Amino acid sequence: MATVRTFASFGGAVDATSSRPLGDDELAPSLRDAPSFADTDELDRFEVAVKSYLAGEMDPEEFRRLRLWHGVYGQRHLVDVHMIRTKLPGGALTPQALDAMADVSEKWSRGWGHITTRQNVQFHFVALADVPAALKRLAEAGVTSREACGDTVRNVTACHLAGVCPMEVLDVNAAAEAVARHFLRNPLAQNLPRKFKVAASGCAIDCALTGIHDIGILATEVDGVKGFRLMVGGGLGTDPHEAQPLEPLTAPDELIVTSEAILRVWDREMPRHQRARARMKFLVAKMGMETFRELVLAERDKLRCSADYRKADPDAFLPKREARPSVVAAEDTSYESADPFGYALWRETNVIEQRQSGRFVAYVSVRMGDVTAEQFRTLAKAARELGVEWRTTVRQNLVARDLRPGDVPRLYDILAAAGLNENGAERASNIVACPGAETCNLALVASRGVASATIDALKVAGLGDVPLSINVSGCPNSCGQQQMADIGLSGQVRRVGTDEAPGYRILLGGRVTEGGARFGQYVAKAPAKRTPEAVVTVVGRFREERRDGERFGDWVDRVGAEEIGASLAAFDEKRTREAAPEDFTDWGETVPFQVILGRGECAG
């Protein structure tokens, strides 16, 4: 049995006035007693169902539907070995949640958890017989996996800087949690036409990518009145759609009723016979935005008259932050890092000042989103010692919020001891990647393999800190959000004569606009083994040709996507197996490439 590290084994947080450890009951509310999302009774029922299925007493299709409701995915080519996906609205992580994730990854998974592009943390290779125990351990920390999969409202993502962003109009923490709690276990959301995704951003920079969601909640101000610009009908996949505005301004107290009206219209009007086109983006495109808008506003009027309608408290959405506990003296800036040079580089690229004067946010660059059991415990230790609040990001990273000046070098040293102190967060070498063929039934290629090789190639070329984003998906389905990155890699099968080989389509210039999206333009193809070289070529050229302050997407617009693509044409040479055998083997594999697909789980 694995040894469980306890809070006491780290010495706990320290009260600056008495130097005594602070207990969990003394931590700030955001770190201590967030209302639980878990339901232990439903987990007891699920455990009974698991035993019934394993005993051959439950129909496999009935059980499949049930486990997807509970956030449990089947894995590639494995029987009764699964992935557990937690549901973390806004990516918020308490110390207790981090402890639980350490235990789950160590005792029942493969030793680490994986941060996703939807701010969840998921665990792979969990034996089905162990799933109930793992879910109950997470529930002890208030974490649920309910409706993290299946035809439901998935995790509600939010800007990781919500509440501390200097530019925010409204604090969307409250918006994300309100929507998440409204739909969680709601009978309305248990049998939707397909999955349904919601995101919230507090300003026009739109860190949560609201323009690619079924509902995007973008805080805005119109004629001095603050509220939300609701974007609807966005989505990626093989046929990406940009979200469109529902109305100029939705009052905060009408966020829930409007969101429900949108969901009800889609649920009622969407034909279900063709699941591949049952996402809301297709309904909006088919009936037109004006017709869809009319139906939603009429539905909202009906809901306002219902007995269950309650207006939300608009004050809950105003930017505000409670002071956190003084675990380190506020003016104590005497601490010096044990690695001054490394700390200086990290602080320059990974630390920003937040809206609250004298407080800072530190980004933690997590290689492809993987966090080990010991690293989870290190994060919990930092939360308790320094009183910081952790959030995951949609780029598979972490942020620590509410750091005092003296906390910043302390945090660096804590992170350094766990191998989490890499500088250059959210830059070129901080690549986003879906799990790919390592675990996914629908993946064509090993996306994590090419991402890892590209990270190493960029660092060797001295290009790791170039300010741009790179996203990788192992198939066209966009779990890696490749269309929204400066450089997007979309896995594909290359055909050379009668042979199949792994490869990638290269997209350039994807980015968010205010509540909208510009999807990356296809410019070239490359074999998997040559893709890192192609990416290095593009990044190097951008660094050389970039004008002062020019962003990557603006450089693509100025130079021209076709011209950049033409410079990559040599990478698309279809070499034969005899001439280039490496082209027919995927990253991390020693056997010849072949496509072996399983049944997709996202399609319910």
Whether the CB-CB separation of 284 and 232 falls below 8 Å is answered with yes
Query: Taking 50 as the threshold, does the pLDDT of residue 5 lie above it?
Result: no
Q: CATH no. for residue 62?
A: 3.30.70
Phi, psi of 341 (to 5 degrees): -70, -50
> What is residue 579's three-state secondary structure?
coil
Q: CATH no. for residue 578?
A: 3.30.413.10
Token pair of 337 as six digits: 């890092």
**Residues 117 and 186 occupy one common structural domain:** no
> What's the pLDDT score for residue 4?
27
Whether the CB-CB separation of 198 and 156 falls below 8 Å is answered with yes
Q: Could you tell me if residue 146 is inside a domain?
A: no
Amino acid code (one letter) for 218: L
**Residues 178 and 291 occupy one common structural domain:** yes
Q: Could you tell me if residue 273 is inside a domain?
A: yes
Left if phi > 0, otherwise alpha if psi is -120 to 50, otherwise beta: which for 432?
beta
Q: Could you tell me if residue 371 is inside a domain?
A: no
> What's the pLDDT score for residue 307?
72
Residue linked to tokens 């006035």: 17
Q: Which residues contact 425 (CB under 8 A, 6 or more apart)?
A: 349, 350, 363, 364, 365, 397
Domain-terminating residue out of 317, 346, 365: 317
Query: Taking 90 as the threshold, does the pLDDT of residue 291 lie above it?
Result: yes
**Residues 123 and 199 occupy one common structural domain:** no
> What is residue 420's three-state secondary structure?
coil
Distance CA 598, CA 83 (A): 15
> What's the pLDDT score for residue 193?
96
**Residues 206 and 121 occupy one common structural domain:** no
Q: Could you tell me if residue 236 is inside a domain?
A: yes
> What's the pLDDT score for residue 600?
62
**Residues 90 and 189 occupy one common structural domain:** no
**Residues 131 and 192 occupy one common structural domain:** no
Q: Which residues contact 502 (CB under 8 A, 6 or more apart)?
A: 444, 445, 446, 491, 493, 494, 527, 528, 584, 585, 586, 587, 593
Which of 167-181, 567-581, 585-599 is least confident?
585-599
**Residues 133 and 264 occupy one common structural domain:** no
Query: Taking 70 as the threshold, does the pLDDT of residue 604 lie above it?
Result: no
Residue linked to tokens 């090789």: 453
* Selection from 400, 396, 372 nearest residue 386 by Cα: 400
Amino acid code (one letter) for 324: R
State which H helix or E strand residue 352 sits in: strand 351-353
Summarised one tens digit per residue, pLDDT across range 117-144 is: 999 999 999 999 999 999 999 999 999 9
State CA 586 to chain mean position distance: 26
Residue linked to tokens 């029942």: 108
Summarised one tens digit per residue, pLDDT across range 466-483 is: 999 999 999 888 888 999
> What is residue 164's three-state secondary structure?
coil
> What is residue 185's three-state secondary structure?
coil
> What's the pLDDT score for residue 381?
95
Beta strand pairing call for 215-222 and 389-392:
unpaired
Distance CA 257, CA 261 (A): 6
* Residue 556 CA: distances (Å) to CA of 79, 91, 333, 544: 46, 32, 44, 13
Mean pLDDT over residues 410-433, rounded? 96
Domain-terminating residue out of 317, 344, 359: 317
Q: What is the pTM of this model?
A: 0.90
**Residues 27 and 123 occupy one common structural domain:** yes
Question: Which residue range is the domain that position 514 belongs to?
Answer: 432-584
Q: pLDDT grade, residue 318 (50/70/90)?
A: low
Left if phi > 0, otherwise alpha if psi is -120 to 50, otherwise beta: which for 214?
alpha
> What's the pLDDT score for residue 24?
57
**Residues 437 and 571 occupy one common structural domain:** yes
Q: Could you tell me if residue 242 is inside a domain?
A: yes
Buried/exposed 1-36: b ≥16 CB within 10 Å, e otherwise: eeeebebeebebbbebeeeebbebebbbebbbebee
Mean pLDDT over residues 429-449, rounded? 88
State CA 183 to chain mean position distance: 19
Q: Could you tell me if residue 163 is inside a domain?
A: no
Summarised one tens digit per residue, pLDDT across range 322-375 is: 545 445 555 567 899 999 999 999 999 999 999 998 999 999 999 999 999 999
> What's the pLDDT score for residue 515?
66
Q: What percent of the chain has pLDDT over 90?
A: 78
Domain-terminating residue out of 97, 121, 140: 140
The one-character DSSP state at 403 is: E
Q: pLDDT grade, residue 6 (50/70/90)?
A: very low
Q: Which residues contact 20 (CB under 8 A, 6 or more apart)?
A: 14
Token pair of 235 as six digits: 């989505």
**Residues 201 and 131 occupy one common structural domain:** no
Amino acid code (one letter) for 19: S
Number of domains observed in the structure of the chain: 3
Q: pLDDT grade, residue 13 (50/70/90)?
A: very low
Q: Could you tell me if residue 409 is inside a domain?
A: no
Residue linked to tokens 């509220």: 227
Mean pLDDT over residues 431-451, rounded? 88
**Residues 551 and 444 occupy one common structural domain:** yes
* Selection from 107, 95, 31, 37 nearest residue 71 by Cα: 37
**Residues 477 and 557 occupy one common structural domain:** yes
H helix and E strand count, the chain: 16, 24
Q: pLDDT grade, residue 15 (50/70/90)?
A: very low
Name the average pLDDT for the chain. Answer: 89
Q: What percent of the chain has pLDDT over 70?
A: 90
Q: Could you tell me if residue 450 is inside a domain?
A: yes
Query: Taking 80 as the threshold, does the pLDDT of residue 2 lie above it?
Result: no
Distance CA 550, CA 258 (A): 38
Rg (CA), the chain: 24
